[in-house]
Chains A and B, each alone.
Chain A
Amino acid sequence: MAQAIDMTAATPVQRSARRWNQRTLAPWLFLAPGLFMFTVYVLWPIIQSITLSFYDWNGLYNQDGDFTGTFVGMGNYAELMTDPAFETSLWNNLKWLVLYMAALPIGLFIAIFLNQTVRGIRLYKSLFFFPFVISQVVVGLIFAWFYAPNFGLFYLLTEAVTGKGTAILAEPDLVTYGIILAGLWPQIAYVMILYLTGLNNVAPDQIEAARLDGAKGWRMLWYVVLPQLRPATFIAVIVTVIGALRSFDLVSIMTSGGPFGESRVLSYYMYEMALGEFGFRMGYGAAIAVVLFAIMMIFISGFIWKMWRDETER
């Protein structure tokens, strides 16, 4: 009898131990491939970049494969503080960040405009979405030709209006705005498509109820439609901020940072310093990357915090 009691007592313990194993181990097992990838391709490079930013290194190993860099501590960061090119890049990044936000209201406006049922609306929608489908490199080339001195459409237009053509990409004070405008074109299309899908999910009964209560126009948009679009707005803000901060391809294609570095942004300056023809200052490039990472971290932590709050409130 005592034996039997022991046996019956042992089984639940064993079972709970197995269940404990399943509950604790299984998630990790499922996470393992992702964690592995994340560590190798995200965490490790971040750590490596931060380490590298404390060195002065031209990217060469010697014949025996030894690292040839020298440790300079915070030297690279100290140099960044007094580097006028870095200051220009930082300001340009700020311009990108602020002006890129224009994609939100414009995208919303176009989305609302297109959110109707008329003949051929699918075609119009896809035409508006078109700039996001083509590669950024192509967008850059199109706008570079648009702005090109002597034969570009924009140049000829300004020449016709003012009598003297303006070559945006040769004007140090205008060049960044010219590139941002090129970047906004696909970004607006992206935001538009986010809002269009959002508008599909707006509850028709709430619109109906609001209409019965006499809401229309701006008040309808502001108090009834926009609150329901919050998830879409959240995503649109994220992709726009990230799009602004990682702007690289347009700068590279349209101006290579010129004229005389006036259109540089942090990501392009990092590339120039670390991998450009006159660069190969790996440590300095890494230091710029770390600064860019820190700026992005501000936004990323904000988003993560908001998402975490939403999850726990539910």
Chain B
Amino acid sequence: MVQKKAGALALVAALLMSTSAFAQDKRVVTWNADYDPIPLAASEALIADFEAANPEIDVQMTNFDHEAYKNAIRNFLTADPPDLANWYAANRMRPFVEAGLFADISDVWANNGLTEALAASVPSSTIDGKQYAIPYTYYQWGIYFNRDAYTAAGVTPPGPEGVNWADFLANCEKFKAAGIDCVTTGSSALWPVAGIFDYLSLRTNGYQFHSDLAAGKISWTSPEARAVFAEFAKLQPFVTENHAAIDWQDAAAIFVQGKAANYVMGNFAVANFKTGGMTNDNLGFMVFPEITPGLARAEEAPTDTIHLTSGAKNPEDAKTFLAYMASPEAQSKWNTAVGQLPTNKNATVPAEDPFLTAGFEALSTSTGGIAQFWDRDADAEYAKAGMEGFQQFLVQPEKLEEILERLEQTRLRLFPQ
């Protein structure tokens, strides 16, 4: 009996030693992330798949609170860099690239044919001709509408092809007469108004204009910029009053209750609409109406990315993992779990989700280009000044000249001509 016990103990000890020796053989890849519970579970599932396929690699993820991460990344990239770190594409990654904290991963792109598979995301992952990011998910923006509100106001709900701008504004008149807000938003955090402005800008002048405006190359007092504000002025009377004092979630409540008919938002809001009691039957999605006829349609789709840090201790295996995150299999699985869109064009989208399929359709057929978002395409300080201007215009449209003048001064200061 005693012998048996001793034997079992020895066996357990031997097993423990062998597993620890086994773990030591594994090469560790560290990854700092900022996921909410659902994406976190999806990422852990991906790590499990990756480790099953690459048993010699151990991916260790440290998850941060989403807001705290924005500050933490500035410290850990210098003090204690992980191999991989989550961040965002386009201008948002520029400070880290310029400080030399994110590593060039053009070779991962070239070796895995990603410039082809992730074609839509090449511009937002590239700085000075080199790629610094692996985009693995994005989500579409557009107009979500409440069919019940349309019925209540006696307006025919738009079909899958959407409506044109003149009809949209004509509908707004009818909503106003029925006491329903035509367009709702909650701009206390500023960025929701940037979504509206971006679409007006993309539909009036196209993608290149949006991009140049965000880069500070276009004057705010130019006729093109004024044309955007002219369209903005047409929409202004129909936007929910007091939007400056409420969050986007508060506006979602107004929308769900049928007190507002349309909401210019990102696809992440669908979860809120459905929690509020909406279903696929009364919630609709359409792309933002065409304003300038014949203009190539561009869409907004902010992209989340993973980066290799310059201080990575195990860059080789980290690159293997990055290549995996760019693959259609990984992206299909992750985005299906989270309810977003894969950036890899060979990935699949769950057919039972009408908003994801509509978004995938809208993005894959957009010929104008994929914009990130005002606050990711523009330099941080410029983005903030712009968003304050958009919000002020929605509240005080009569101060247009003052707003444009101030934005122009900011532009000249930040981008000396």
Residues of A within 8 A of B (CB): 58-63, 65, 68, 79, 84, 147-150, 167-170, 172, 255-256, 258-261, 275, 277-281
Contacts and interface: CB of A to CB of B under 8 A. Distances in A.
A150 B375 CA distance: 29
B241 A60 contact: no
B245 A147 contact: yes
B242 interface: yes
B243 A62 contact: no
Given A63-B101, A148-B246, A278-B380, A259 B391 contact: yes
Nearest to B70: A277
Contacts of A277: 70, 380
Given A60-B95, A60-B96, A259 B74 contact: no
A167 B381 contact: no
B245 A149 contact: yes
B216 to A, nearest CB: 15
A61 B245 contact: no
Interface-central residue, B78, B310, B375, B389, by most chain A CB under 10 Å? B78
B406 interface: yes
A25 B323 CA distance: 68
Interface-central residue, A255, A275, A278, by most chain B CB under 10 Å? A278
Interface-central residue, B71, B77, B242, B388, by most chain A CB under 10 Å? B242
Ranked nearest first, the 6 interchain pairs of A and B with the lowest CB-CB distance are: A259-B244, A170-B245, A278-B384, A149-B242, A167-B242, A169-B245
Nearest to A155: B242
B395 interface: yes
Contacts of A261: 388
A28 B222 CA distance: 67
Contacts of A258: 187-188, 190, 244, 391
Contacts of B188: 169, 255-256, 258-259
A168 B384 CA distance: 23
Interface-central residue, B190, B245, B381, B391, by most chain A CB under 10 Å? B245
Interface of B: 70-71, 74, 77-78, 81, 95-96, 99-101, 187-190, 241-246, 254, 310-311, 375, 380-381, 383-384, 388-389, 391-392, 395-396, 406, 413
A170 B406 contact: no
A255 B190 CA distance: 11
Contacts of B381: 278-279, 281
Nearest to A164: B241
A105 to B, nearest CB: 31
A65 B77 CA distance: 10
Contacts of A149: 241-242, 245-246
Given A62-B101, A167-B241, 15 more contacts: A60-B74, A62-B99, A63-B81, A147-B245, A149-B242, A169-B188, A170-B245, A256-B189, A258-B244, A259-B187, A259-B392, A261-B388, A277-B70, A278-B384, A280-B380
A205 B162 CA distance: 85
Nearest to B395: A259
28 contacts: A58-B99, A60-B74, A60-B101, A62-B99, A62-B101, A63-B101, A63-B310, A63-B311, A147-B245, A148-B245, A148-B246, A150-B242, A167-B241, A168-B245, A170-B242, A170-B395, A172-B392, A172-B396, A255-B188, A255-B245, A259-B244, A259-B245, A259-B391, A260-B395, A275-B71, A279-B380, A279-B381, A280-B380
B379 to A, nearest CB: 9
A170 B243 CA distance: 7
A58 B95 contact: yes
Contacts of B96: 60
Contacts of B245: 147-149, 167-170, 255, 259
A62 B78 contact: yes
A56 to B, nearest CB: 12
A278 B376 CA distance: 10
Nearest to A284: B381
Contact of A63 (B100, B244, B391): B100
Given A84-B406, A172-B396, A61 B246 contact: no
